[in-house]
Amino acid sequence: MRLIRIATHNGSFHADDVFGVAVLMLLHPGAELVRTRDEQVVAAADFAVDVGGEWDPARGRFDHHQRGFSGARPSGVLYASAGLVWAAHGAALVQRMFGLQDGPLALAIATDLDDALVQHLDKADTGASHGAPGLFGLSALLGQFNTTWDNPAAADRDGQAHRAGFERALSTVTPVLLAALDQLRARHQGAQIVRDAQRLHGGRVLLLPRGSLPWKDVVSLEMPEVLLVVYPDSTDTQHQLHVVTVEPQSFVARKDLPRDWAGLRAGELAAVCGVPDAVFCHNGRFIAGAGSLHGALRMAELALAARD
């Protein structure tokens, strides 16, 4: 097979060129990386990231420094090279990583990563932001691998010191990218399990098949009738019931657990609620547990009937 060549500029680097190269190298394992500003070498490469003065995804050109460049997301956030590469290849990388046949799901995951990370890398590179929303702190972190001004090798833009720094940055951003995508993949697929879960007591109780599913945003935003969620805890030693908040970031519950359960444990709680295997109720009345699914569902039923 012909060797794929990826070109980016030599010398110091930023997160946008490191990230763009990382994406392309994941899509093309074994590709050759060339760091240069030689126009002929750049023109001959299969991909050019942050160098070359062209934006043409069909030809693998991903630069944003050329005069008149105005590429922007629908949100208005200008693209730098990270965003240009991700817009063209992000969904394909997601599909390959996870073996997804679901194109819309891959695109949703790629879009989420752009919102959480890539656009902030672009903002940093274009000077649009100096804050640290989302995962933007990665931009400053990768910059630490650049050669310092007083390093004797700093003047040699084509030297091994610059190349080694870029490769260390590349080896840092790649596992972060893969881990972030895996988290987003799990969140999307887990959210669908939540949507498909069984509903009890007229739809007011959602029974999840396993713990640790990302249910809070889904239930708050999409299931206005659900008041309590029941699920096995992460140790499988008990089942828990949890209140649903009025909106994802709120601490206000649609319905609190009964006031007389607050702060009680084991026998004291069992005596008050009448559920023999009741384990605890948090003093804040947002979560409680029982030793069995039957017990947790009975506590949920009692909580629904309670007036406070």
Q: Which two tokens stand for residue 215?
A: 């249910």
pLDDT value at 2 more than 90: no
Domain count within the chain: 2
72 DSSP β-pair partners: 78
Domain co-membership, 14 together with 124: yes
Domain co-membership, 53 together with 179: yes
Least confident range from 52-66, 140-154, 272-286: namely: 140-154
pLDDT value at 158 more than 80: no
pLDDT value at 74 more than 90: yes
| Domain stop point among 139, 173, 192 | 192
Q: Work out the pLDDT band at 49, boundaries 50, 70, 90.
A: very high
Q: The dihedral of CA 44, 177, 19, 63: what is its sign?
A: positive
| Domain stop point among 192, 213, 240 | 192
Contacts of 35-42 with C-beta under 8 Å, sequence gap 24+, read: 35/7, 35/8, 35/9, 35/10, 35/158, 35/162, 35/163, 35/166, 36/7, 36/9, 36/10, 36/158, 37/9, 37/10, 41/7, 42/7
Domain co-membership, 238 together with 294: yes
Q: pLDDT, tens digit, for every residue of 191-203?
A: 999 999 999 999 9
pLDDT value at 236 more than 80: no
Say how many CA atoms lie within 13 Å of 133 toward its Cβ: 12
Domain co-membership, 171 together with 215: no
Domain co-membership, 144 together with 260: no
State the average pLDDT over residues 279-285: 97
State the average pLDDT over residues 34-56: 97
pLDDT value at 36 more than 70: yes
Per the model's pLDDT, the better-predicted residue between 127 and 4 turns out to be 4
pLDDT value at 136 more than 70: no
Domain co-membership, 210 together with 176: no
- Please give the residue range of the domain that contains residue 251: 198-305
State the average pLDDT over residues 63-90: 96
